[in-house]
Structure 1
Amino acid sequence: MQKQRQQSWNLVSFVAITALIVLANIPIAKAENRAEIRIDCAKPTVALSPHLYGLFFEDINYAADGGLYAELVQNRSFEYHSLEETHRGSGFHPLFAWKSIGGEGGHADAKVVNTSPLNQNNRNYLQLKIDQSGVVGISNSGFDGIHLDKGQRYNVSLYARIDDWNGDSALTVKLQSDDVSDCGSVVLKGGGQTWQKLEGVIVASATTDNARLVVTTKGQGTLNLDMVSLFPQDTFNGRKNGLRKDLVQALKELNPKFLRFPGGCIAHGHGLDNMYRWKDSVGDVAERKPNWNLWGYHQTYGLGYFEYFQLCEDLEMAPLPVVPIGVGCGFRCNEFVPIEELGPHIQDALDLIEFANGSVTSKWGKVRAEMGHPKPFNLEFVCLGNEEHDTPDMRQRFPLFSKVIREAYPDVKIIGTSGLGPEIPIYDLMTRDNVYSSDEHYYMPPSWFLGNQDRFDEFSRNKPLIFVGEYAAHDTDRKNTLFSALSEAAFLNGVERNAAIVDMTCYAPLFGREGHSQWNPDMIYFDKRNVVRTTNYYVQQIYGQNKGDVYLSNSVETKAVGDRPTVSGCVGIGSWNTAIDVEKVTVNGRQLDPANWNVISGDYSVKDGHYLQSEEQAAPAMSISQETFSDETVTFAVRARKTSGSEGFLIRFGADKEGNGGYWWNVAGWNNSRHGLEDFSSGSATLDSVNGSIETNRWYDLRVDLTPGVIQCYIDDQLVQEYKIEPAALSISSTYDRDAGEVIVKLVNPTSDPIEAHLNIAGSDSVATKAQLISLSGEKNATNTLDHPNTVAPVTSEIAAGREFSHSIPPFAVEFIRIKAER
């Protein structure tokens, strides 16, 4: 996942986020909007990629264990440990989710040991020293309780070993509800002085969401347990060690054409020792090596590379595995595998391709075959790296991987990475390396997506293709609002128009378990038995199911569209890890006195008529005017110097009196290396940045000119940055589905008024008089939740059509019109 870099200030930790006074309510189109739309069937422009819409899976928000992976026992191999490294998971321990029990006078001491492990990868196991027989054992609470459905069958398995044993060695495995009522049981017979796997089936006698798994014995001595597992038989395709059926069904309905996995940041790991190593995730699940997750919990790797490939095959998706390139996660560490030690990491990448595509006689092809899949998985793509920071070490290592892979597997296409954010700082390296495509990530406000529909219009068609591998519109409070989904739809219209350069896209993150999310928004939310398809999910679904094969030339003429937005609000002065001296502040030539401004953070004082901020460690320091400026044209000017510290100035405008919303111009941010314009309408997002730095103790004249729809930033009267704020307006894409013989017109209305559209389907010998309409619309801030999962959902109907016809597009809507037309 892409995290905002240090200077993209997290408002949650600074002040509570409130509604932005300007862009959160983008000026809307006026009533009685009209649009003349012409689609030319005789003028296809570009073919759309067969892989255009896909999925990105990362084990974040308990997306794997406790989510897609159907295992119902948590911490089944007793490998949990404290995760203080992540600042989230310090409550974990080897007996997490387990509790020892004793009945009928029985007593035992329970502890986790590793003296005689099941294998070298799963070293921990439970040891019950039973000094008094009765009904003695242990219970597991699963992931916030185990859910059961009456009449369903559940596979139970465990590994057991007994020492110095007296009495019956049989184990009773029960499912109990929270009131200790039995919900089904099975007796597992066996056990000896070596590890043995015991298996059985339990038929649930009740439906509950709060069951627990109980393993007991009536014997006496030492009972050792490991890999205690409970799986529903009703997994996707009925597989053992399978996937949760309803979640896979939700993925299937998206009609995805690829799966990028297993991350994301977890591919890098918290450090090199925590890096995702695919070889740990294949083979017998009892012999896979668990790993802790940088998102603050543990991973069993029961959902591993074999299961990812198998899911791709089931849903007819192309697998896109992400391979780390010896570079640690730039957000958490600055580690690099030494060049002389890089060989095993490169070999891991080669072995992965052999695991996927190799013959059964090859080393890793044999492993795949032994797991039940002798046929190759036909891996076509490999993703090298994820969100790498632009460093000399990264630039040195990437070509070493790509060179060796090309030599060994010339048919495998290499997907590179463009670096952090929309500025794509290492796209030049990807171009020189001649990768197949380059991965871009952006988590931005809806306004950014609406304003960047033309992002790819000027991209060179002679450079690597673009893979939009992670993106999401972050609306107010990071909720999955309809407006955020509309902005993504408008962006996808621009993607389709530029299908010659954009090959693949996928929303991120994919899953969020209710109550266990480290990141919002996500596409699909779920609890133990419910699945919530968000507004953003439905946009992905509509585009995935109605892509078409070629883009058709179109034109749109609109009347009474919205005026260009203006920026109004309070102004402010700040800094980041820097002390500053402000000599003068003016708005439209009128000098302001900051002495009575609202100091949000930092140490501000007035001395000899200067406004000083002296706390060098404030990140950020910020002082906000208590006067609002709302003229159509505003010029905010500051004369200031840096007196000490590592960065520069924060020129704030368009905020409210508490410092919420609006923008700041970050002068000499990124450790005094760049100037950036940042938007705080929904969290924080860098809209534009350029190279630049400042000197200590040098006076600078800084100026921001605000005119309708335009922000201009000057240093010493030199224009440094210019950003255009586009008004919300009708967005369109038009494609042709050859198999169906249908034109697909894709319309996005992000305004609060209906748009009366007149459509002309030209260049066709015949056009049907009826069309199918797929409509997703509702209130701007509508969301789907567990309590109200269907607040917004697509509705399909039939409308009158023809060569020319009229259609009213409702406010805040995505609408697809499919109409038969011969080409």
Structure 2
Amino acid sequence: MSRSRPTRALASALVLAGALGTVPAAGSTASAAPGSTASAAVTTDYAAPAATDYTVEVDAAGTGPAIADTMYGVFFEDINRAADGGLYAELVQNRSFEYDPADNAGYTGMTAWAPTAPDGVRGTVGVVDDTGRLNERNRRYLRLDLPSGGQGYGVVNAGYNSGIRLDRQRYYDFSLWARTGAAAGTPLTVRLTDPAGANLAPPLRIVVRGDTWTRYTGTFRATATSSTGRLAVTGTGGGTVRLDMVSLFPRDTFKNRPNGMRRDLAEKVAALRPGFLRFPGGCLVNTGSHYGYTAPNYERRRSYQWKDTVGPVEERATNANFWGYNQSYGIGYYEYFQFAEDIGAMPLPVVPALVTGCGQNRATDDPELLRRHVQDTLDLIEFANGPATSEWGGLRARMGHPAPFGLTHLGVGNEENLPDEFFTRFQQFRAAIEAAYPEIMVISNSGPDDAGGTFDRLWQLNRDAGVEMVDEHYYNSPEWFLQHNDRYDSYDRAGPKVFLGEYASQDNRFYNALTEAAYMTGLERNADVVRLASYAPLLANEDYVQWRPDLIWFNNSTSWPSASYQVQKLFMTNVGDEVVPSRASGTPGTTLPITGAVGLSTWATSAAYDDVTVTAADGATLLRDDFSGGAGQWTHATGRGSWSVVDGAYVQSDAVAEDTMVTAGDPGWRDYDLRVTATKRSGREGFLVAFGVRDTGNFYWWNVGGWNNTQTAVEKASGGGKQTMIAKPGSVETGRAYDLRISVRDRTVTLYLDGQEWGSFTDDRVAEPFRQVVTRDRATGELVLKVVNAQASEAATRIDLGDRVRVGSTARVTTLSGGPDDVNTASFTPIQPRESRLTGVRNSFSYTFPAYSVTFIRLGVAGTATGAAGVAGTATGAVGGGSMERTVR
């Protein structure tokens, strides 16, 4: 998960557009379906006809690349509260009182807790860190000084979201560690209540005895259903009692495992039938926390290290998560391996390479620290695969899994921005692993983006070193996914294989899912190069969203699949064993010139702009502004920075505000030169000059000194998402005036910095809305025809299977269709698969694919080169929706 360009692009998408724009056919307008949130339709660079006829020609007896069983998988990162309060079934937040303002300014040791005195007789409460702690990793505990009288004094926990979810007649296991100085012991009452204090289960009575930390347990059976429950622990009798690791777990976890996973979330992941599980990140791996790498001291703010996450849960560290909150490590490496096994997925852990990524640029120069991390990685492999008689295999066995987990793949590093520094360290990891465990595939990466200097350099290093597999990450606009279906067609078949570890179109609407589906047909067509692929992120708690889009959404009482989940599930449960050669006709149309107004913006920076001129290709002046008469020609959205004319320049003075764009001119302008003088006054980055501005979600901008003032790039925003057109390293000096000129001609843009040509690009890729791929399912003898129609018009299509096969007369069809702006929510899920039966199928037949749809047709065939005998089509992996029968005419 990248903290650099994708984060900026997503923030921009949310601020500017708030939604995905669609790419309708010429003359059409996308509208919101019932229950969805409407957004302005994106104007497109491609004029398509209102209706198009297509052909799909299939060499039904031919064979193409084999598709690995692990082709599609899932990637879990603890972002959006995906673990604590999410997949991890623990219901108590801050159960060990380790939250701290050093990790999050809003935290204290009592976060999610509050004192309670049912009869008003109060004692004192405080979080303590001293030598009386539970252990060196679980340092803090709660001290309760109880009043001598009254009915009890203690604390109450509110859980996550609106409270603790309880279901009537379900069992909940409670535990805590406690000790007391009272000679006669300290009675505790533990209750599950509603916010007003009414019981939701019969109370538990516990007597804490002795001044040694001891674990106490009990079980509740809920008498009512609630999503706003509370857990209250009160003591009586005076004296002091100390509490730690206060836990409440639903007994009904996935596979009924103790310390396990929340059932509904785990079941949705399992229903994808993933071929692999990549864990535990992501940015939290290679940066761990915001504080980089430190020697082990079991203190706060450390990098993510797997040994902190295994063993008894009360002895695991609590760490500051990269994404701004604490993680308990209740889900640790043992639980990740166990979960992978439970869902039938290959485990694929990722370890830090000691070079930061995700918008940070640091590399360790401590050889001893690097040596220790390399050894930790070897120990991890032993933990996964070693015999129970080995040191780390023995720990795995003691935790409940004597047999090895069968680790075969391991990633080193994630989205590093320093390619040479990363690769030097990667080679040390790789050499050590291959020497000790030659059967393990060691996976490298290509940085945080789909192109650019870091990407090119890392790919060169990986190719030259003969690395087996390279992890690519990118989050782009829906248009990018339609434009780059052929991305892997030209990759070297003899070079490293690709692990597409993170990708997504930048929103959760159905149109985003359609463009992802169109792109996935290209992944499958290139299955000899792309061996692994996983959408990201996997999970998002609706009350703690840091990143959008996400595959599965949830709150404390329910969960629901996004439209992208439905696309991923359709592909993942209908993969096939090999690609079947096929080709489809394209969509005719005309590429339109770049048109639009101009804009100025900043990002966490104060900057001044002056002497703006826009000149047409014929020399006519379209705009001239030296701001001597104010800024009346510019449109400034309320709340987007602080703009004013200061000393004859247009100044944005807020050095914290992000995406502050102001615009001027006509959205219909084309073939022009934009010139401006820009000066950085203060802040983290440089300045942004926009052109081709058609509306708030569709524009280009030259981002000079972006990404914490480390590189310069041109980004294209379309539909609220972004893609990079050209990028180079570069920074901006504070106080220096820069002369910027942008020349736009048709679809070619040339950029000049201080009179010298900085770079140019031609944006002439077509966003093809009709894509297809065919695969063969050897087990059933079927061909699976997968067609995506990501446009507003139906696609009347002639499908020709040739004459070398016999085709069954009946096929099974699974369809996803809906409005392009449809969004699945907790209460309304318009995007669900529908099953139907197609009769009258022949070797050549016609089918009309609905507008905005993904369609899988499973065709029974015989007489192919595979020797398949069956002719009856049987759909697999289809779920939900209604069914219908349709006859081919």
**Structure 1 position 315, deviation (Å):** 0.8
Tell me which residue corresponds to 1:135.
151
- Which amino acid in structure 1 is aligned with residue 521 of structure 2? N
Tell me which residue corresponds to 2:351.
323
**2:698 counterpart SS class:** coil
Shift of the 558–684 alpha-carbon distance from structure 1 to 2, 3 Å rule, reads: closer
Tell me which residue corresponds to 1:11.
12
Tell me which residue corresponds to 2:489.
457
Aligned length: 802
**1:592 counterpart SS class:** strand
> Is 1:247–2:265 an aligned residue pair?
yes
In 1, Cα distance between the equivalents of 2:479 and 2:698? 13
> Is 1:2–2:13 an aligned residue pair?
no
Deviations 1:320-377 (A, max 9, x none): 1110011234525635352343111111111111110111111111110100001110
> Is 1:365–2:365 an aligned residue pair?
no
Equivalent pair of 2:449/2:472 in contact (CA under 8 Å): yes
Tell me which residue corresponds to 2:870.
none
Tell me which residue corresponds to 1:681.
718
Shift of the 200–698 alpha-carbon distance from structure 1 to 2, 3 Å rule, reads: closer
Question: Is there any run of 5+ residues in structure 2 with no aligned partner, and where?
Answer: 24-40, 293-300, 626-631, 865-889
**Structure 1 position 20, deviation (Å):** 6.6
Alignment of 1:120-199 (within 5 A): 120-136=136-152, 137-143=154-160, 144-166=162-184, 169-184=186-201, 185-199=203-217
Equivalent pair of 2:22/2:719 in contact (CA under 8 Å): no
Alignment of 1:378-527 (within 5 A): 378-423=406-451, 424-425=455-456, 426-474=458-506, 478=507, 480-527=508-555
- Which amino acid in structure 2 is aligned with residue 813 of structure 1? S
Tell me which residue corresponds to 1:91.
106
- Which amino acid in structure 1 is aligned with residue 815 of structure 2? S
In 2, Cα distance between the equivalents of 1:684 and 1:29? 22
Shift of the 150–182 alpha-carbon distance from structure 1 to 2, 3 Å rule, reads: same
**1:44 counterpart SS class:** coil
Shift of the 330–787 alpha-carbon distance from structure 1 to 2, 3 Å rule, reads: closer
Equivalent pair of 1:320/1:381 in contact (CA under 8 Å): yes
**2:594 counterpart SS class:** coil
Shift of the 813–14 alpha-carbon distance from structure 1 to 2, 3 Å rule, reads: closer
**1:495 counterpart SS class:** helix
In 2, Cα distance between the equivalents of 1:404 and 1:604? 60
Shift of the 369–28 alpha-carbon distance from structure 1 to 2, 3 Å rule, reads: farther
Shift of the 528–691 alpha-carbon distance from structure 1 to 2, 3 Å rule, reads: closer
Deviations 1:407-448 (A, max 9, x none): 111110011110121112422222233222111111111001
In 1, Cα distance between the equivalents of 2:744 and 2:778? 51
Equivalent pair of 1:569/1:656 in contact (CA under 8 Å): yes
**Structure 1 position 164, deviation (Å):** 2.9
Tell me which residue corresponds to 1:227.
245
**2:488 counterpart SS class:** coil
Equivalent pair of 1:21/1:662 in contact (CA under 8 Å): no
Equivalent pair of 2:410/2:441 in contact (CA under 8 Å): yes
Deviations 1:650-676 (A, max 9, x none): 55323147x653112446766888663
**Structure 1 position 647, deviation (Å):** 8.8
**Structure 1 position 384, deviation (Å):** 0.4
Tell me which residue corresponds to 1:50.
69
In 2, Cα distance between the equivalents of 1:62 and 1:619? 24
Tell me which residue corresponds to 2:836.
797
Tell me which residue corresponds to 2:797.
757
Tell me which residue corresponds to 1:661.
698
In 2, Cα distance between the equivalents of 1:692 and 1:752? 40
- Which amino acid in structure 1 is aligned with residue 397 of structure 2? A
Shift of the 528–402 alpha-carbon distance from structure 1 to 2, 3 Å rule, reads: same
**Structure 1 position 155, deviation (Å):** 0.9
> Is 1:569–2:585 an aligned residue pair?
no
**Structure 1 position 94, deviation (Å):** 0.9
* Aligned match for 2:342, one of 299, 302, 314: 314
> Is 1:738–2:765 an aligned residue pair?
no
Shift of the 522–19 alpha-carbon distance from structure 1 to 2, 3 Å rule, reads: closer
Tell me which residue corresponds to 1:635.
671
Equivalent pair of 2:595/2:694 in contact (CA under 8 Å): no
**Structure 1 position 574, deviation (Å):** 6.5
Which shows bigger deviation, 541-550 or 526-535? 526-535
Equivalent pair of 1:21/1:569 in contact (CA under 8 Å): no
Deviations 1:691-747 (A, max 9, x none): 4779988977641222xxx44435578972222241443101111110011101110
In 2, Cα distance between the equivalents of 1:619 and 1:252? 39
**1:414 counterpart SS class:** strand
Tell me which residue corresponds to 2:623.
593
**1:139 counterpart SS class:** strand
- Which amino acid in structure 2 is aligned with residue 787 of structure 1? S
Equivalent pair of 2:717/2:723 in contact (CA under 8 Å): no
Alignment of 1:259-274 (within 5 A): 259-267=277-285, 268-269=287-288, 270-272=290-292, 273-274=301-302
Shift of the 18–704 alpha-carbon distance from structure 1 to 2, 3 Å rule, reads: farther
In 1, Cα distance between the equivalents of 2:190 and 2:663? 64
> Is 1:652–2:668 an aligned residue pair?
no
- Which amino acid in structure 1 is aligned with residue 150 of structure 2? G
Tell me which residue corresponds to 2:885.
none
Question: Is there any run of 5+ residues in structure 1 with no aligned partner, and where?
Answer: none
Deviations 1:289-332 (A, max 9, x none): 11121212111111110000000011111111110011234525
> Is 1:777–2:813 an aligned residue pair?
no
In 1, Cα distance between the equivalents of 2:19 and 2:547? 19
* Aligned match for 2:53, one of 34, 39, 53: 34
**1:259 counterpart SS class:** strand
Deviations 1:483-504 (A, max 9, x none): 0000000110111111111111
Shift of the 763–691 alpha-carbon distance from structure 1 to 2, 3 Å rule, reads: farther
* Aligned match for 1:61, one of 71, 80, 98: 80
**Structure 1 position 157, deviation (Å):** 0.9
In 2, Cα distance between the equivalents of 1:132 and 1:667? 67
- Which amino acid in structure 1 is aligned with residue 838 of structure 2? I
- Which amino acid in structure 1 is aligned with residue 777 of structure 2? D
In 2, Cα distance between the equivalents of 1:649 and 1:130? 59
**Structure 1 position 128, deviation (Å):** 1.1
Shift of the 417–19 alpha-carbon distance from structure 1 to 2, 3 Å rule, reads: closer
**1:111 counterpart SS class:** strand
In 2, Cα distance between the equivalents of 1:543 and 1:467? 17
In 2, Cα distance between the equivalents of 1:603 and 1:761? 66
- Which amino acid in structure 2 is aligned with residue 11 of structure 1? S
Equivalent pair of 1:105/1:133 in contact (CA under 8 Å): no
Deviations 1:183-234 (A, max 9, x none): 2232334522211111121111111111111223333221111111111111
- Which amino acid in structure 2 is aligned with residue 799 of structure 1? L
Shift of the 447–221 alpha-carbon distance from structure 1 to 2, 3 Å rule, reads: same
**2:489 counterpart SS class:** coil
In 2, Cα distance between the equivalents of 1:515 and 1:307? 25
**1:59 counterpart SS class:** coil
Which shows bigger deviation, 516-525 or 29-38? 29-38
**Structure 1 position 14, deviation (Å):** 7.3
- Which amino acid in structure 2 is aligned with residue 585 of structure 1? V
In 2, Cα distance between the equivalents of 1:628 and 1:25? 11
- Which amino acid in structure 2 is aligned with residue 483 of structure 1? Y
Q: TM-score, normalised by structure 2?
A: 0.84
**Structure 1 position 649, deviation (Å):** 7.5
